[in-house]
Each structure stands twice: as C-alpha cells, then as structure tokens.
Amino acid sequence: MGAIAAGLVACTQNKEASATQQPKDLPNANPFPIVISTWPHIVDNEVALTAIKTGDLLDGIEQGINSVENNPEDQSVGLGGRPDRTGIVTLDACIMDKEHRAGSVCYLKNIKNPISVARLVMQDTPHVILAGDGALQFALSKGFKEEELLTAKSKEEYVEWLKTAHYKPKVNAELHDTIGMLAIDDKGDISGGCSTSGLGYKMQGRVGDSPIIGAGLFVDNEIGAATATGMGELVLTTLGSFLTVEFMRQGMSPMEACKAAVMRTVEKNKNTYKEMQVGYIALDKYGRYGAYSIQPGFQYTVTFENHNEVFDADSYLD
Ligand code: SD4
C-alpha cells in the first residue's frame, strides 16, 4: 500500500480505529502542508495549498475561501449565494489562527469576501465579531467595495421559490451553503476558516453556526481543528466544532471525534435528526483528518503535495 493510500485508510475509512490509537502507530503520514475542506473544492483547495507553500497559512485559508466566494456559479458562498426569504444575500464568516485569535462577521451585505473582512476583524480590532451595519462600515473603511451579490441565476431560483415559499432547509451534495477549510503548514501549525451565505431562504436576520467560534469552526493549535456544515441550528446548540476538537483532545482520531460530535447531535435531537444534515471535518496536529455526517452524501476534499481528492464521508444513516 502506498504512503498516501495508507494514510487515507488510517484517517478516513477505518471505522473500527481504536479510540486509543496513538499517532505514532499510524503508517506513513501524509506530507505537510495539508488542506481539507467541506464539499468538493478541488480548485479552491489547490489555491490554498499554493498560497500556504508560497506565503503563509492564513493567506492560504483566506485565498482558498476567496476562490469560492468569488465564483458566481457557486451558490453557497459570497457572490451568487442564495438569498434570504426577502431576496437579500447576507453572509457569515469566521477565521481562527494558530495564535488562538479569531475574527468573524455576521449578516454582512454587499461584500463578496466576508472571510477577508473576518480576518481584518481578527487582526485589526479588539473584537471577535462584528455584525450587520457595523461589519459593513468596517469593511468599507478597509477599502472593500459594495456590490450586488444576487446573481441572475440565484434570483431566478428565488423567484421560483416564492411561488410556494415553502421553507424546508435541505443540505446535500448539490445544495449546500458553506465552505469550511482547515490547514496545517509544514511547521505543523493549524488555522481554519468558514464562509457561507447561510441556509437558502432563511428568515431575515437569521445567523447560523458558520460565523460562531466553537460552532462552525474551532482551532486549537495544540490539538487540531474542526469545521461544520449543514443545519446550523443543530451545530450551534451542540457547539459542534469545539466539541470535535475537545474529543480529539481526549485522544480520539479526527474521524472518531467527528462521529462523536454527530452522535451528540443525534442524541439531542431524537425527533428531528432523520430530516437533518450535519457534517464535520477535522484535522489534528499529526496531519490526520476525518469526517462524519448524519445523512449520506456529505463530501469533503483533501489536498496535499501531488494529491487532491474528494471523499464521501461516512454517515450515521444509510
Ligand atoms: C448555516 N451551516 O448557515 C450553514 C449552512 C450550511 O451547507 O452549511 N449548508 O446553517
């Protein structure tokens, strides 16, 4: 078995991996840097990897996520994101770095790169979260330009949706709303980011898990990082990314930790989880990674030198 294949089996497919398995026992770790992201993001992960190799870790996270935010064909994030039920695109994003600093924006309108604004909140303000008009004013003061984010395609779908205005949030491989990205550089430092237009046709003013540190994203450079996708309300009420990192702190592998966090969601939402999707990806200090979701169909992308691949996450339901 090749080095890469061995690492992948150990990290993503070994459902039976013992909770006590130690990193030193793992065969052939993959080369650093490593970038992982929720959903298929081959091009964007490659952008991140290149930026990490030529610049630094945070540049990689920011530029990788910018690559999705700038793509009008991607209706999950930034330009072209699906609007709320009043037809307005509102964006949420957060970033967390190896120094345990964090920045976030919520309910940001008309600025297509919320992850970049979140980075500046982290670096240039005494705060972690800026919301709404304050976030917009801050972005403008930093030179960001306002633009219409609702593309013709997203508008057309929204107008169609208005005919019934039936709200049933659905998250699957075709219909998802978030990129969460985690990376470890060649020094073994970890950072991550998360950006979203939130659930399509959400109520006006709704903010999900994605900009909330501990819910949509958490990084602890001593342990690892995790990020979430899916029904934000369920991630918020279990602080799922924080929980996943804490499970890794207790000795679980990334995949085991993602599974344990999903199981917490299932246990706490016994009557509703069958209709809901929540998925986590995680990366640990040793470069191991894993993912798990409630429903099948959650995919994630793993990228390192000479390797860029989309995987199906294991899931609780078949
Ligand atoms: C939210 N977690 O706003 C996001 C949505 C998402 O794939 O991840 N969709 O609740």
Dump pLDDT digits (tens) for 247-298: 999 999 999 999 999 999 999 999 999 999 999 999 999 999 999 999 999 9
CA angle 17, 23, 27 (to 5 degrees): 80
Residue 6: the pLDDT is: 33
Residue 92 alpha carbon to ligand 1 centre in Å: 10
Mean pLDDT of the chain: 90
**Could you tell me whether strands 178-184 and 190-196 are parallel, antiparallel, or unpaired per DSSP bridges?**
antiparallel
Residue 229 alpha carbon to ligand 1 centre in Å: 5
Average pLDDT (24-39) is 80
Ligand 1 probe mutation, 196, 212, 239, most atoms within 8 A of CB: 196
Q: Are 96 and 223 in contact (CB under 8 A)?
A: no
CA angle 14, 180, 147 (to 5 degrees): 160
Handedness of CA 61, 44, 226, 265 (dihedral sign): positive
Average pLDDT (141-166) is 94
How would residue 44 be classed by pLDDT, with cut points 50, 70 and 90? very high
Residue 176 alpha carbon to ligand 1 centre in Å: 7
Identify residue 311 by its one-letter amino acid code.
F
Residue 73: the pLDDT is: 86
Of the candidates 210, 258, 218, the residue with the CA atom closest to the CA atom of residue 236: 210
List the beta strands (DSSP E) in the chain: 34-38, 90-96, 102-109, 129-131, 178-184, 190-196, 217-220, 224-230, 278-284, 289-293, 299-304, 307-312, 314-315
The pTM (predicted TM-score) of the whole model is: 0.91
Atom of ligand 1 nearest to the CA of 92: 3
Atom of ligand 1 nearest to the CA of 207: 3
Average pLDDT (219-234) is 97
Dump pLDDT digits (tens) for 62-94: 999 999 999 988 877 889 889 999 999 999 999
Residue 177: the pLDDT is: 75
Average pLDDT (219-226) is 98
How would residue 173 be classed by pLDDT, with cut points 50, 70 and 90? low
How would residue 8 be classed by pLDDT, with cut points 50, 70 and 90? very low
* Domains in the chain: ranges and CATH: 31-315 (3.60.20.30)
Query: Is 20 an active-site residue?
Result: no
Residue 28: the pLDDT is: 55
Q: Burial code of 279-290, b = ≥16 C-beta within 10 A, e = fewer? A: bbbbbbbbbbbb
Average pLDDT (307-317) is 96
How would residue 43 be classed by pLDDT, with cut points 50, 70 and 90? very high
Atom of ligand 1 nearest to the CA of 206: 3
pLDDT over 70, % of the chain:
90
Residue 16: the pLDDT is: 36
Average pLDDT (115-136) is 98
Residue 20: the pLDDT is: 37
Q: Return the SS3 of 85.
A: coil
Q: Which residue has the tokens 């304050």?
A: 134
